[in-house]
Amino acid sequence: MRTVRSSALLLVAFAAIALPPQSPAETGPGATRTAVVSYADLNLSAASGTQALYRRIQLAAHAVCRAADFDFDLEGRRSQRECARNAVAGAVERIDNASLTDLHRSATAKANRLW
């Protein structure tokens, strides 16, 4: 099992693949918004550390996929949620930690049951 512990910051490029070229997440030609999510202070071997990182990723995703960048209608709101979901999934994949992946799968399955 690979231990994920970083003394540096993790630069997470959010939603770079899943968003269409004219996505509001782009700030210019070819530019994608990013957020830096630090987890050097967390022990990802402990459930509390994994949960804390997951929450940080979610907050960063929502900051990157700001509501102001989407139309204020049902389609815009759906696009905003999709942007955040894709951003979280991309970050979890990049970190490549089994506990974090399991937590994300569980959270995603629970959210899908609600819809």
SS3 call for 10: strand
What does the domain layout of the chain look like in residue ranges? Answer: 10-114
**Could you report the per-residue pLDDT of 54-76, keeping only the tens digit for each?**
999 999 998 888 866 677 778 88
Q: What is the reported pTM? A: 0.70
- The whole-number pLDDT of residue 81 equals 87
| CB within 8 Å of 2: residues ≥ 6 apart | 96, 97
Q: Pairing between strand 34-37 and 10-13?
A: antiparallel
Is the separation of the CB atoms in 38 and 10 below 8 Å? Answer: yes
